Amino acid sequence: MAYTVLARRYRSTSFDEVIGQEAIARTLRSAIEQDRVAHAYLFCGTRGVGKTTMARILARALNCQKGPTPEPCGKCDICQAIHRGDDVDVLEIDGASNTGVDDVRVLRENAHYRPARARYKIYYVDEVHMLSRSAFNALLKTLEEPPEHVKFIFSTTEPERLPPTILSRCQRFDFRAVPTERIAEHLKDIARREKVKADADALVAVAREGRGSVRDALTLLDQVIAVSAAHVTLEAVRQAVGAASGGKVLAVLSACAEGSAAGALAGFADLLAAGADILALLDHLLRQARDLLVVKTCGREAALLDVFGPDPKELASAAEKLSVPALVAALGYLAEARNRARYAVDARPIAELALVRMASLREMEPLPEVLARLEAMGRAVAAATGREPPAGRTPAAGAQARQVAAAPPRAEAARPAPRSPEADEKKKTVGPAAAPRAAADESPAPPAAATEAADPLVQKAVRLFD
């Protein structure tokens, strides 16, 4: 007998069994109980969160021989056929392979025929955003005023690609990512029913790797069971996902924190030699750097840390070597390398470049210290030259210039009165030599600081302003 994967074998069969979508299930149950079922629904959300499962449960609730009922029996021929996905009156259409206007025209023509044996003819279109623009236009009229025996259920992972005319004709439900704790509880129940021994930390690791997708977590659990010979351990999960040892990854980051680019590159090469994938390794480095930032800012909170990571005490020891701005910069370097490596022919140089840049963070001065030095330099230049530095050369001057620019404009100064001919005649008799002499008499004496021995850095700054 062919093996059925866990994701299909343990698919939910009622509204109460759907994991993490209680609000949507409650709304649909209430609509069925009050006989207020809409003619078109749109289910939005990422993969593996229950869109197709919810659509089949809704179809069973509407077409069950004991229905319409929010509690379908699951035993009649219609319920079983819908659960298998081969009922004659519940048509599941793949929007990615039936994208043309001709496919929609066939759907529109067949919609006028009454169902063969059920109460409603239900069209479930998966990945509806893949339909062409002409196909959407051909569907508008039927979607707005369908026959009374027709119901439409659409699902999509990219609702932003749907035309507004389609969105306005459907009741929209947004499926959220399932919390890790709920997925871990579900995996524990399935492991018990499968009579498989599973460690609690291993199930949490599988749930986190699912990233909110129940189907992805069940697929990974299936793989881990095959790897671990019916005993699910954390090491088996690490082997299944290709994750490197948390301690070795932390050693690479610690070398970067110490400013040792050679040590970081050597540790990275050892991980690659052990069989780690570069993209998976960059993901792990990104998670470890994020854990260091969490420890640095929030303390050793185990609930926020990666389950594949090392002991929180080791993380705290490594986090002491880096500042928060340096960790933020390291996360940016790793994220940039991860995005670039995805499309690179050879991703190793990109990853190594990120490690070298991270190792150089130790040599960089913190921004507050740099600003303080600039402030001190500006004051020293002003004292040495007897004049203020140009606006914008120092943070203080830049702030002052911005304040002046933001101030309300002053009233226009009064223009000087025109000079009389007697004043011009007096200026000629005084002569041009009097003005420079007066200016020389009024010039201030050089400050005392200019005659003292200045710091070399200040002398260099003074030469810049001269």
The token pair that represents 375 in the structure block: 């402030």
Ramachandran sector of residue 417 (left: φ over 0; alpha: ψ -120 to 50; beta: rest): beta
pLDDT band at 466; cut points 50, 70, 90: low
Place 464 in a pLDDT band, splitting at 50, 70 and 90.
Answer: low
Assign 189 a pLDDT band (cuts: 50, 70, 90): very high
DSSP E strands, 225-311: 231-232
CATH architecture under which domain 246-363 falls: Up-down Bundle (1.20)
Cβ contact 202:304 at 8 Å = no
Helix (H, G, I), strand (E, B) or coil at 435: helix
Asked if residue 235 has pLDDT above 50, the reply is yes
| Selected residue with higher pLDDT from 102 and 397 | 102
Q: How far apart are CA 59 and CA 125, in angstroms?
A: 13
Q: Is 157 exposed, middle or buried (0-12, 13-18, 19+ CB in 10 A)?
A: middle
Helices 348-359, 261-273: crossing angle, 10 deg rounding:
150
On the question of pLDDT at 186 being above 50, the answer is yes
pLDDT at position 390, please?
56
Type and span of the H or E element at 426: helix 421-430
Mean pLDDT of 247-270: 87
Residue-range domain boundaries for the chain = 6-174, 180-241, 246-363, 372-393+454-466
- Per-residue pLDDT band for 259 (boundaries 50, 70, 90) equals confident
Q: Is residue 254 very low, low, confident or very high in pLDDT (cuts 50, 70, 90)? A: confident
What pLDDT is recorded for position 228? Answer: 81
The band of 434, judged by pLDDT with boundaries at 50, 70 and 90, is: very low
Residue 34's pLDDT band (cuts 50, 70, 90): very high
Residue 238: what residue type?
A: R
Confidence label for 168 from pLDDT (cuts 50, 70 and 90): very high
Asked if residue 366 has pLDDT above 80, the reply is no
Write down the residue that tokens 């339909």 correspond to.
131
- Predicted local confidence at residue 51, as pLDDT: 94
The helix/strand count (H/E) of the chain reads as 22, 7
* Choice between 258 and 365, residue whose per-residue pLDDT is larger: 258
* CATH topology for the 180-241 domain: Helicase, Ruva Protein; domain 3 (1.10.8)
364 — pLDDT class (breaks 50, 70, 90): low
Which CATH topology does 6-174 take?
A: Rossmann fold (3.40.50)
pLDDT attached to residue 411: 47
What per-residue confidence (pLDDT) applies to 54?
A: 94
Q: Give strand pairing partners of 151.
A: 122
Of 137-146, 164-173, 275-284, which range is least confident? 275-284
Distance (Å) of CA 71 to CA 50, 53, 67, 79: 18, 15, 8, 11
Distances (CA, A) of 11 to 17, 312, 359: 9, 37, 48
Task: Give me Rg for the CA atoms of the chain.
Answer: 36
Whole-angstrom distance, CA of residue 391 vs CA of residue 389: 6
Percent of the residues in the chain that have a pLDDT greater than 90, as a whole number: 34
Coil, helix or strand at residue 410: coil
Q: Tell me the mean pLDDT in the region 281-310.
A: 74
Q: Which residue has the higher pLDDT, 88 or 280?
A: 88
- Sequence-separated (6 or more) residues with CB below 8 Å from residue 85: 56, 92
201's CB contacts (< 8 A; 6+ apart) are 234, 307
Q: What is the rounded average pLDDT for all residues in the chain? A: 80
pLDDT of residue 205: 86
Would the CATH topology of 180-241 be identical to that of 246-363?
no
Ramachandran area for residue 170 (φ above 0: left; ψ -120 to 50: alpha; else beta): beta
Residue 315: pLDDT above 80? no
Asked whether residue 381 carries a pLDDT value surpassing 80, the answer given is: no
- 138's tokens: 């051909």
Q: Answer for the pair 149, 121: CB distance below 8 angstroms, yes or no.
A: yes
Average pLDDT in the 197-215 region? Answer: 89
pLDDT exceeds cutoff 60 at 408: no
pTM, two decimal places: 0.67
